[in-house]
A and B are shown apart, each in its own frame.
Chain A
Amino acid sequence: MTSQAQRGRIARSLGGARGSGLLSGWSVAVTLLALLVAAPVWVVLSSAFTPSGDVWSHLASTVLPRYVRNSLWLLLGVGLGSLVIGVGLAWLVTMCRFPGKRVFEWALLLPMAVPAYILAYTYTDFLQFAGPLQTTLRAVTGWGPGEYWFPNVRSLGGAIAMLTLALYPYVYLLSRAAFLEQSSSILEASRSLGRGPWRSFFSVSLPLARPAIAAGVALALMETLSDFGTVDYFGVQTFTTGIYRTWFGMGERVAAAQLAALLLVFVFVLVVLERWPRRRGAYQQPMSSRYRVLAMYRLTGRRAALAFMASLMPIALGFLLPAGVLLTMAVRNAGRSVSPAFWQYAGNSLLLAVLTALLAMVLALVLAYGVRIRPNVLTKLSTRVASMGYAVPGSVIAVGVLMPLGFIDNTVDGWMRSVFGVSTGLLLSGTIVGLVFAYLVRFLAVSFGTVEAGLGKVTRSMDEAAGSLGHKPLSTLVRVHMPILRGSLLTAMLLVFVDVIKELPATLIVRPFNFDTLAVRVYRLASDERLVEASGGALAIVLVGILPVIVLSTAIARSRERRR
């Protein structure tokens, strides 16, 4: 610690009086932390620059065009879908009063508890030829097989629908947090100047919330790019399935890394697009010293009914229906679907999720704040790269995690052997520490994006005021920013928590011996086409995911009132 302070002092002398240079303590600390998290991404990409022989020309002439086309369509569809549903409903439940609004506020988050691949499995089961819907349809209408047209859920359109349902909550959660944090005085000013609800939304609320909305959409799109379970099951070939195929099927690791690099170009474009609105910096708002409950638009009659239906739709399709299908399956086959070891799996899932959510939040806060007070090329670039893990397919990033862990372990072991003649074996590989590191690599983007968007809305004059009162950066962070950011910090934790509960590929590969989580359990069964046996576990994932969703979303809503 002392050495760090010394380094900080030296760095300040190197980097100028105010320590804003590349070598200031904050700058170095943020860069190092970010590089640590980015290491697995680099491991994956490092081989991308070696020649891969004729594989690449083979890919380009056969399957690559299809990967690009499908991935672009997926991005476009999921992006638009989650944007419209997420932002529209966030604004509706924040600004309008209509029957059920109180429940919808949190219930709109419920689909987040259902992993997209589970949605895919249940919808396939529900909509297939022998499924309940088509059977009823045939019974009611008297149509025979092949005499009617029925949409095929296992298609590009189906994949877009599944991913939109599973991912719109990211946009909803972040834009709602942004709408809640908006100063009531600005909206009142807009209203007093005669702007109606629609124009206030488009000319005031939306531009102010743009960084948060962009962050939410970027998360949804990154998750879309890294999705394997859904597109693989639906037979939609994307970059992700292509990377799997090339790496694990052909054993062509270099070509797979090159595909992954190409995928990250997509992500870079996304990130740049997301940054665009923030450049102008015109969206910081004064912190309102007075807090008052906003006068909401009261909806009645047909409008209230419309608002009610609009809010109910995504919940019904993204949560009630799939959970219902799972529940029926689990109950009908109780003997096969429920096992006593569930509590242990759930305990493991919870432990990992809580631990990671806390760490990811703290890490994101430090990194985002570091970039804020030391915005130089090192901090900006390294945090950008550190957030890339979210877009890389889980299995690939997990292998990327294994290598640095193994390297550290074996280096330490080798050193201990040569110096003390004792073998330390593997210290990190195959432990919970390694697993939590893998999660941080994968999900840092989620907490970082959320915290950064929140921090961006806090005016610089707060930092300056704290500075003039003698607060050092760290104390400003803890005593000024953290209380203001309460809502964003909780949101960040919630998102990471739910993501960890659902996470699969990294858990499978990095976990310790004899260590099962709910997601692992469900995957074991579902991957082997035993959906009925998997239904109990899938339901448990949904249930374990729901409780924190409800608790934290009410806390987020309350955080606005706390700022009084």
Chain B
Amino acid sequence: MHRRLPTAFVTVALLALLGLTSAQGVVNVYSARHYDSDTTLFEAFTEATGIEVNLIEAGADELIQRILSEGANSPADVIITVDAGRLWRADDAGILAPVESDALEAAIPANLRHPDGHWFGLSQRVRGLVYSSDRVDPAELSTYEDLATDAWRDRVCVRSSTNIYNISLTASVIASAGVDAAQAWADGIARNLARSPQGGDTDQIRAVAAAECDVAIVNHYYLARLIASSDPADQAVVAAVGMFFPNQEDRGTHVNISGAGVVATAPNRENAIRFIEFLATPEAQEVFAKANHEFPAVEGVAVSEAVAGFGTFRTDELNVAAVGENSAEALRVMDRANWP
């Protein structure tokens, strides 16, 4: 035992030294976003501030688990997720710390951030309807609720209820009309499915083009991606479909956010705040949103050409935290509706 002590000391000293040198100019980011453009953006942050960005990408729920099991010693400074439900869950797990930042509060609308600054939305993703230009007159489309009526029997495509975007959509229906109404709605959607849920959102759009169904519930950027694609097959799909944003006459179309929060145990808290503030600058917002055809969180920032083509529309102003709160119930509702 005694013979090992010197080695232990040296190891500890070295580690402490490592800790010191790395503490000066880094920000450790746990991200659930997987876009190359993000990496470019992080490099720009390093260039502007001298702060190095260390990155781990994985699913948000797993990242939350990792931060929890790393405990007080976790190196995580910032966690980025691709939906509001997970931000809410991270906050619920107690791993996010409040941040006071005038810059962030000025830039990001109140419904896209936590009231006490536990997290901030950075881009918006709209869950709209893609319809067949041949078989559907856009005038027939109105609301998410309408898709659950008998007029749409065997005509709807949507992916699995395990998907977080569907969970969030259902959670927003619960928030607006209560569990019973949401149940009736989910029952109707499950009844109206043209085929058993399969594949991702792009596959639902392709199914509309292939006449397997008449209308699909998808996030807007999947269609925008096809619009921007140079592949003739993708262009053929785009030519056969149209985009519709439902619920314009009432609460507005459901939006989800990709956002970030500062971790409660962050060893580099100041850098973490600077990092999120950087992502909310107009320049960064443009890159952040454009690369994936998302809507920026900050107003007045240019969108991609494909997204600009969708025009302007009204979005649900419900604070996205409400979506997170209802997400577990939403899953149960969809289970009971037999929405696979």
Ordered by A's residue number, 17 sampled pairs between the chains whose C-beta atoms are within 8 Å are A59-B335, A145-B211, A233-B199, A247-B61, A249-B331, A250-B332, A251-B92, A399-B62, A399-B65, A402-B70, A409-B73, A413-B73, A423-B16, A427-B15, A429-B73, A511-B56, A513-B54
A245 within 8 A of B: yes
Question: Do residues A129 and B73 form an inter-chain contact, with CB atoms below 8 A?
Answer: no
B309 within 8 A of A: no
B146 within 8 A of A: no
Question: Do residues B58 and A509 form an inter-chain contact, with CB atoms below 8 A?
Answer: yes
* Closest chain B residue to A399, Cβ basis: B65
Interface majority SS on A: helix, strand, loop or mixed? helix
Interface size for A (C-beta < 8 A) is 65
Chain A residues with CB under 8 Å of chain B are 58-59, 62-63, 66, 124, 128-130, 145-146, 154-155, 232-235, 237, 241, 244-245, 247-252, 395, 398-399, 402-403, 405-407, 409-410, 413, 416, 420, 422-427, 429-430, 505, 508-515, 520, 523-525, 527-529, 532
* Closest chain A residue to B16, Cβ basis: A422
* Closest chain A residue to B58, Cβ basis: A508
Given A406-B69, A509-B58, A514-B54, A524 and B34 contact (CB-CB distance below 8 Å): yes
B132 to chain A, nearest CB (A): 12
Instruction: Write out, one digit per residue, whether chain B residues 86-116 have a CB within 8 A of any chain A CB (1) or not (0).
Output: 0001001000000000000000000000000
Question: Do residues B328 and A251 form an inter-chain contact, with CB atoms below 8 A?
Answer: yes
Give the chain B neighbours of A514 by CB distance below 8 A: 54-56
Interface majority SS on B: helix, strand, loop or mixed? helix
Give the chain B neighbours of A403 by CB distance below 8 A: 69
Alpha-carbon distance between A237 and B198 when the two chains are bound, in angstroms: 10
Given A409-B73, A508-B62, A130 and B209 contact (CB-CB distance below 8 Å): yes
Give the chain A neighbours of B58 by CB distance below 8 A: 508-509
Query: Which of B56, B211, B222 counts the most chain A CB atoms within 10 A?
Result: B56
Question: Do residues A250 and B328 form an inter-chain contact, with CB atoms below 8 A?
Answer: yes
Instruction: Write out, one digit per residue, whether chain B residues 190-233 have a CB within 8 A of any chain A CB (1) or not (0).
Output: 00000011111111001101111000000000100000000101
Give the chain B neighbours of A402 by CB distance below 8 A: 65-66, 69-70
Question: Do residues A528 and B162 form an inter-chain contact, with CB atoms below 8 A?
Answer: no
Question: Do residues B328 and A424 form an inter-chain contact, with CB atoms below 8 A?
Answer: no
Question: Do residues B335 and A422 form an inter-chain contact, with CB atoms below 8 A?
Answer: no
Contact of A424 among B15, B63, B70, B338 (CB under 8 A): B15
Contact of B73 among A154, A398, A425, A513 (CB under 8 A): A425
* Closest chain B residue to A43, Cβ basis: B69
Question: Do residues B62 and A395 form an inter-chain contact, with CB atoms below 8 A?
Answer: yes
Give the chain B neighbours of A398 by CB distance below 8 A: 62
Alpha-carbon distance between A62 and B9 when the two chains are bound, in angstroms: 58
Give me the 10 closest cross-chain CB pairs, A-B, nearest first: A406-B69, A235-B198, A129-B210, A513-B54, A524-B34, A508-B58, A154-B198, A62-B335, A402-B69, A248-B61
* Closest chain B residue to A416, Cβ basis: B12
Question: Do residues B69 and A508 form an inter-chain contact, with CB atoms below 8 A?
Answer: no
Question: Do residues A145 and B210 form an inter-chain contact, with CB atoms below 8 A?
Answer: yes
Alpha-carbon distance between A424 and B63 when the two chains are bound, in angstroms: 22
Given contacts A130-B233, A527-B34, 20 further A-B contacts (CB under 8 A): A58-B332, A58-B335, A146-B211, A232-B160, A232-B162, A233-B198, A233-B199, A237-B340, A250-B332, A252-B328, A402-B69, A402-B70, A423-B73, A425-B75, A505-B62, A508-B57, A508-B58, A509-B59, A520-B57, A529-B203
Question: Do residues B212 and A129 form an inter-chain contact, with CB atoms below 8 A?
Answer: yes
B253 within 8 A of A: no
Alpha-carbon distance between A523 and B57 when the two chains are bound, in angstroms: 11
Interface size for B (C-beta < 8 A) is 61
Given A130-B210, A406-B69, A425-B73, A250 and B331 contact (CB-CB distance below 8 Å): yes
Question: Do residues B71 and A406 form an inter-chain contact, with CB atoms below 8 A?
Answer: yes
Question: Do residues A409 and B338 form an inter-chain contact, with CB atoms below 8 A?
Answer: no
Alpha-carbon distance between A511 and B75 when the two chains are bound, in angstroms: 13
Query: Which of A62, A405, A406, A512 counts the most chain B CB atoms within 10 A?
Result: A406
Give the chain B neighbours of A235 by CB distance below 8 A: 159-160, 196-199, 340
Question: Do residues A430 and B75 form an inter-chain contact, with CB atoms below 8 A?
Answer: yes
Question: Do residues B206 and A128 form an inter-chain contact, with CB atoms below 8 A?
Answer: yes
Query: Which of B62, B160, B202 counts the most chain A CB atoms within 10 A?
Result: B62
Query: Which of A145, A403, A528 counts the most chain B CB atoms within 10 A?
Result: A528
CB within 8 Å of A: which B287-340 residues: 327-328, 331-332, 335-336, 338, 340
Give the chain B neighbours of A413 by CB distance below 8 A: 73
Question: Do residues B162 and A249 form an inter-chain contact, with CB atoms below 8 A?
Answer: yes
B68 to chain A, nearest CB (A): 8
Give the chain B neighbours of A399 by CB distance below 8 A: 62, 65, 69
Contact of A251 among B73, B89, B209 (CB under 8 A): B89
Give the chain A neighbours of B65 by CB distance below 8 A: 399, 402, 509
Alpha-carbon distance between A416 and B15 when the two chains are bound, in angstroms: 12
B44 within 8 A of A: no
B243 within 8 A of A: no
Give the chain B neighbours of A427 by CB distance below 8 A: 15
Give the chain A neighbours of B331 by CB distance below 8 A: 245, 249-250
* Closest chain A residue to B335, Cβ basis: A62
Contact of A425 among B15, B160, B210 (CB under 8 A): B15
B19 within 8 A of A: yes
Question: Do residues B66 and A509 form an inter-chain contact, with CB atoms below 8 A?
Answer: yes
Alpha-carbon distance between A66 and B162 when the two chains are bound, in angstroms: 14
A279 to chain B, nearest CB (A): 41
CB within 8 Å of A: which B37-80 residues: 54-59, 61-63, 65-66, 68-75
